[in-house]
Every structure is written in structure tokens, then in C-alpha cells.
Structure 1
Amino acid sequence: MSIAPETRDARHAEPSPRRKAPGLELWLTERVAFHLRKPAEDIDPDTPLADYGIDSVAAISICGEIEEEYRIAVSPTIAYDFPTVHAIATHVTELLADRATDGGARS
């Protein structure tokens, strides 16, 4: 028996507590997989998202999900500036660390 992939919109879910990079990378992999309509297991965190055929709508959606989930501002071009799940996760982790260092001054 197979289980259908989750189809509910994560933007309406309760925000999760801050994750460290490995948890963030898993969450991000799941979001990318959702937008590509692929199993998360098929997403390699070191493969460029462009190789999967991610489009601008999905990239912008992922940007918004990062902002909502982690309460930080990221560039709408994040998926192009940081072309892999791993690179995006590393960048977001750095932004979170900067925010913590700044005492939460950034939003």
C-alpha cells in the first residue's frame, strides 16, 4: 500500500521551531520535492535546482515559505543565487546565525 504525498499547503501550518542546518536541509528538500511533484528521496541536495527544471513560480514560492517558516527575509532570487538545496540551507543557516548574533534585530 502506498501513501499519497502530502498535499496540504505548508504555508498554513504552524511554524516549526528553528532548525539547525540538517533539519533545514530536509525541510527544504521536502518543499522542493513538493513543488516539483517528486518524492523527496529523488532530490539530491547537491544537484542544481535548474537540473530538476524548477520554474520561477516554484522558486518564488519556496522563497516565501522560507520567510514564513523561519521569519527571515530572503531574496526572491535565492534559488538562482544559491542553486542547490544544500547551498540554500547553508545561506539560510547563516542568516539565522546573523539574526541571533544581532539579537533579533533583523526580521
Structure 2
Amino acid sequence: MSIAPYTVEPTEASLKTWLAERVAEYVRLTPDQIRSDTPLADYGLDSVYALTLNADIEDYLGLTLDNALMWDHPTIDALSKVLIEMMALEKA
């Protein structure tokens, strides 16, 4: 599946929603079942899905990410925060 780049610059809130939708798709839940403060591994997001999600994020945000990013920032809250910070640094 190919992920299109964003058309409106994401906010932290919209990025959390987008991430919840992606995670829900991979673990076969609905986005409203994904809590932003719960570690993604608790939903069964294994290393293969984590790498796939990492690639989706790269495609969506146009960033190059370390493959360990989700292990260092294991929740949607933490991940979205660091991604917004990375986007700001890219623009600086």
C-alpha cells in the first residue's frame, strides 16, 4: 500500500489521528480502539509492522527515520510529538 504525502501540514493532533488509523489498520482494530498513551506493542504491533509503519510515516511526512524510532517513542503520543519536532527541524 502506498501512502500519499500530506496535503495540509499536520498538527500534533491530526498526526495522532493519522497514526491511530494506520496502527488500527495493521492490527485489525478500529481507530477508536487505539489509545494514544498505550505502547504500540500492546496492540501486537510487531517489528515487521513497525518497519512498515515507519515507511508509511516517511512517505507521509517526507522524513527519513531511524528504524528504532518507535521503540524509542513507543506510544502515539510520544511518536507524534517527536515527529512534529523533526518536521520543525527540517524546515529550520
More RCO (CA 8 Å, sep 6+): 2
Q: Which has the larger Rg?
A: 1
* Superposition TM-score tier, normalisation by shorter sequence: over 0.9
Residue 15 of structure 1 deviates from its aligned partner by: 1.9
TM-score, structure 2 length as denominator?
0.92
Deviating beyond 3 angstroms after TM superposition, the runs of 4 or more aligned structure 1 residues are none
Equivalent pairs: percent with the same residue?
Answer: 33
Where does the alignment leave 5 or more consecutive residues of structure 1 unmatched?
1-8, 102-107
CA shift digits 1:6-32 (9 cap, x unpaired)? xxx3x2x53222211111111011001
Corresponding residue for residue 15 of structure 1: 5
TM-score, structure 1 length as denominator?
0.80
Distance, in Å, in 2 between the alignment partners of 1:92 and 1:47 is: 17
Corresponding residue for residue 49 of structure 2: 58
Root mean square deviation of aligned Cα: 1.1
Corresponding residue for residue 30 of structure 1: 21
Alignment of 1:61-100 (within 5 A): 61-100=52-91
